[in-house]
């Protein structure tokens, strides 16, 4: 990529980061205020707060990367700074994927109408297990970060001592490490939590199909609360499935990696706000208030 174009995309990434920070700060602020007002949050809102907080921190890491890349291009690309920033990104990125997966499981168990004993047990146990699931997600993300740290240390040590197997130089050796170590690690890190989404969506679609069949055989309207809840959950989860699937297109490190990742998270944050009744209501009030100030 040409230097001027690279700088343009870095500046665009900074702008997207700011929008993402505002969106996730809004989610955390509104739901935290609700927690202080009522003394508790729904399990799904607890996951949303965790998701918003992890993404809030994630985008600050993205901004640090962008500024360092712009101001210290050569030193930052080859030195330990990029690896250090990458470790924070991998930890928060893994945690974010797991939080989103638990949200999809919670939606599915809460809304889907299944009578299988396992589903009934999960429906009963899952809401109370949310804090433990979040802690397990952080532990898994920490272990993944340690694996990335080991690989990053190997890259940095190789950059310093310049000793590689055979007659290889630093660049081919680091590319080989990226293909045979970092790329499989990223695939595993993203694939395991991401695979929960298609399963949850398939269960919700099957539940909605069965529910629609029952409504058609009765005199009830198809637009009943249960059917609407299924539809809202699917509208929330399907964009997540698509956007998270697109993140696999940017697994390899390139000049497009950071803008692509930030754009993905920006889209999912605003989907979360629009699909959440309370967040959407507060957002509408703020827009009406801003319009009133403009007209005044």
Res. 168 pLDDT band, cuts 50 70 90: low
Reply yes or no on whether the pLDDT at 64 is more than 90: no
pLDDT at 266: 63
pLDDT at 130: 92
Residues 6+ apart with CB under 8 A from 280: 273, 274
The pLDDT tens digits for 106-133 are: 888 888 777 778 878 888 888 889 999 9
This prediction has a pTM of 0.82
pLDDT at 249: 62
Q: In this structure, is the dihedral angle defined by the CA atoms of residues 257, 261, 266 and 271, taken in order, positive or negative? A: positive
DSSP 8-state secondary structure symbol assigned to residue 256: T
pLDDT at 79: 59
Reply yes or no on whether the pLDDT at 175 is more than 90: no
% of the chain at pLDDT higher than 70: 69
Alpha-helix residue ranges (DSSP H) falling in the chain? 3-38, 43-71, 73-78, 80-111, 117-125, 130-161, 170-177, 183-194, 196-217, 225-246, 257-275, 277-295
- Angstrom distances, CA of residue 231 to CA of 14, 207, 272: 35, 11, 15
All structural domains of the chain, each given as residue ranges with its CATH number in brackets, are 3-286 (1.20.1070.10)
């Amino acid at each position: 990529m040409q230097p001027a174009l690279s700088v343009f995309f870095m500046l665009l990434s900074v702008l997207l980061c700011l929008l993402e920070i505002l969106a996730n700060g809004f989610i955390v602020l509104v739901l935290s205020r609700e927690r202080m007002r009522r003394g508790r949050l729904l399990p799904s809102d607890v996951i949303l707060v965790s998701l918003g907080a992890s993404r809030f921190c994630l985008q600050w890491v993205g901004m640090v990367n962008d500024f360092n890349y712009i101001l210290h291009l050569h030193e930052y690309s080859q030195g330990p700074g990029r690896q250090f920033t990458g470790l924070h990104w991998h930890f928060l990125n893994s945690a974010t994927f797991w939080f989103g997966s638990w949200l999809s499981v919670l939606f599915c168990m809460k809304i889907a109408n299944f009578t299988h004993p396992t589903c009934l047990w999960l429906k009963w146990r899952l809401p109370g297990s949310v804090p433990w699931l979040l802690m397990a997600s952080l532990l898994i993300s920490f272990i993944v970060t340690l694996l990335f740290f080991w690989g990053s240390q190997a890259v940095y040590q190789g950059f310093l001592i310049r000793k590689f197997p055979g007659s290889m130089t630093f660049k081919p050796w680091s590319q080989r490490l990226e293909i045979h170590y970092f790329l499989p690690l990223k695939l595993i890190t993203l694939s395991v939590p991401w695979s929960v989404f298609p399963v949850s969506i398939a269960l919700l679609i099957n539940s909605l199909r069965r529910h629609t069949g029952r409504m058609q055989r009765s005199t009830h309207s198809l637009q009943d609360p249960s059917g609407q809840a299924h539809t809202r959950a699917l509208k929330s989860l399907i964009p997540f499935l698509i956007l998270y699937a697109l993140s696999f297109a940017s697994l390899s490190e390139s000049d497009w990696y950071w803008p692509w990742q930030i754009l993905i998270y920006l889209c999912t944050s605003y989907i979360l706000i629009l699909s959440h009744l309370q967040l959407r209501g507060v957002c509408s009030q703020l827009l009406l208030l801003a319009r009133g100030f403009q007209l005044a």
